[in-house]
Amino acid sequence: MNEMEPNPQEKGGGDHNNYWLDSKEIVTFRRWLDKNPALLQTIQQFAQFRVVVDANVVAQDLIHKVKFPDRGNTALQELIQSSVLEVHAPRWLEQDLASAIPQVAKRQDLSEQQLWDSWPWYKEALIWNEELCDAPASAEIDPKDVPYVVLQNTIGAVGILSHDRHIKKMGGNPLTFEFIMTMRKYARVSVVDVGIRVSGAMLGTVAIGVIRALFSAIATGISRLPSWLKMALVIAAVVAVLHPRTRVWIAEQWRSYSPAALNVWNEIAPTLVKFGQMAQAKRIEAEAHLEKALRSVPGAGQTA
C-alpha cells in the first residue's frame, strides 16, 4: 500500500507556504463569486469535482496521519477543505474500513487505536449516502467494491478515489494518487490567481480607500496591523501597480506624504510588479494542472 504522501517535500504544504493564500480560502472566494454574477463572468469559478472515496484510500490517509503527525493535512484533507473535491462515500465504507484497519495496522506495525483516533475528521467531512449500507453477498468480481461503483453512477461522480484494480473492471473510474496530487497543485496556484483578480475587481470601487489605508499603514507601522489586513493591503498594492496609470497616481500620493516616502515607493514598485507577474503565471500553471487532471476523467466527467 503506497503512502498518500511519500515525499518529505510534500509535508505540511511544501511550496504551499510560499504563496500568499492558503488553498482553504477557495471556499471564501467561491462563495463571494457566487454572490457576484457580474464578476463571475470575468473571473471563472474554481473547479470542483464530485468524487467517491473507498476504504483503502481513507486507510492510507489514516496511516499517514499516524506516521507523520508533524506534516499537517494530507492532500485529500486539503482538497476537501478547499472545496475543490466534494467527496462522497457509501455508509458501507465504515464496515469496509473496520475490516481493513486491523490488516493495515499489522502490516504497518501501527496501533489500531491510533488509526481510529484520526478517523473522526474524515467521518465528519465526507458526504454520506445512507442507502448503501451493505455490500451484496456475491458479485461477478468483488462484492466489496459494488457500493462504491453504484454510488459513483447514482450521484454522477467523475470517479472513485481508489487503488483497487477491480474498480475499473466493474465499470467504475478509478482516480489515482496522481489525480489527487495534481488537483492539490491546482488548488494551491489557482487561489493565488483568483485572490488577486478578486482583489483587483474590489479596487474598482474601493481603490482610493484601500490605497489610503496602505499609506496610513506605512505611517502607523504595518507590523502592528492584523494579518488579514496586511494581506489585503499587499494584494491591493500588487494589483494597483500592474497598471501604469495607477502607479503614477500612487507615486503622487506618496509624494504628498514626504519625498522620503516617494523614494521608498520607487524602490518597492518594481518588486510588486514582478510579484503581480508571478501571480499571473500561476493562472497559466493552474490551467495546466486542471487540464492534466481532466485527462483522468472520461469525457471530462461531471463537476459538482
pLDDT in tens, 161-212: 999 988 999 999 999 899 999 999 999 999 988 877 776 566 544 444 555 5
What is the rounded CA–CA span in Å between residue 200 and residue 29?
13
What are the boundaries of each domain within the chain? 8-184+286-300, 192-282
Tell me: pLDDT of 221 over 90.
no
Of the candidates 222, 214, 219, which has an alpha carbon nearest to the alpha carbon of residue 258?
Answer: 219
C-alpha grid cell for residue 103? Answer: 490488516
Give 8's pLDDT tier (boundaries 50, 70, 90).
very low
Q: 205 Cβ partners below 8 Å, 6+ apart?
A: none
Q: Which CATH number does 8-184+286-300 carry?
A: 3.40.50.1010
Give 215's pLDDT tier (boundaries 50, 70, 90).
low
Give 43's pLDDT tier (boundaries 50, 70, 90).
confident
Q: Assess contact for 300 and 163: CB atoms under 8 A.
A: no
